[in-house]
């Protein structure tokens, strides 16, 4: 049986986890997050491929690259959540199942963060549950697709 794979996609500034605004995002790093997700994926029989970029076009390229290669994608678009119609269109046209995640609760933050262009083309949105939101999204994709 071929091993199943889920993509974990992180947008701008998430490479600075552990250093950037720890009162909001915590003290764990992106490497810590990726390790937690990989460990949670093992008992589900899934592999994960993690990717982070601060560049919108690179995120779109990764979505296109994953088409037909991953079961689904857990995606934290970062600030592009609130600005990028291009990412929304890439998700909509990919044929992949997406779970949008946010470490902080975007609805409890500044007004401009409370709108998501990508939520409407995602299977679901998990916001405010920290790193656990990624594990929940990955688990949902593994169990349902």
Cβ atoms of 68 and 96 within 8 Å: the answer is no
Task: From the candidates 51, 65, 82, 102, give the one annotated as an active-site residue.
Answer: 102
SS3 79: helix
The catalytic position among 25, 80, 117, 134 is 25
In the residue annotation, 65 being an active-site residue is answered as no
Annotation says 102 is catalytic: yes
**Block residue for tokens 């500034």:** 13
| Contact indicator for 119, 85 with CB cutoff of 8 Å | no
Residues carrying an active site annotation: 25, 102
């Amino acid at each position: 049986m071929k091993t199943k794979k889920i993509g974990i996609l992180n947008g701008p500034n998430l490479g600075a986890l552990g250093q950037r605004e720890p009162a909001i995002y915590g003290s764990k790093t992106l490497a810590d997050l990726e390790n937690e997700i990989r460990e949670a994926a093992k008992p589900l029989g899934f592999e994960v491929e993690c990717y982070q970029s601060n560049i919108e076009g690179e995120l779109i390229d990764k979505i296109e690259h994953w088409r037909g290669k991953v079961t689904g994608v857990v995606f934290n678009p970062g600030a592009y959540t609130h600005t990028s119609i291009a990412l929304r269109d890439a998700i909509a046209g990919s044929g992949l199942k997406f779970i949008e995640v946010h470490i902080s609760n975007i609805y409890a933050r500044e007004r401009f963060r409370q709108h998501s262009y990508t939520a409407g083309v995602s299977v679901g949105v998990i916001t405010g549950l920290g790193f656990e939101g990624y594990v929940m999204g990955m688990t949902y994709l593994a169990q349902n697709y």
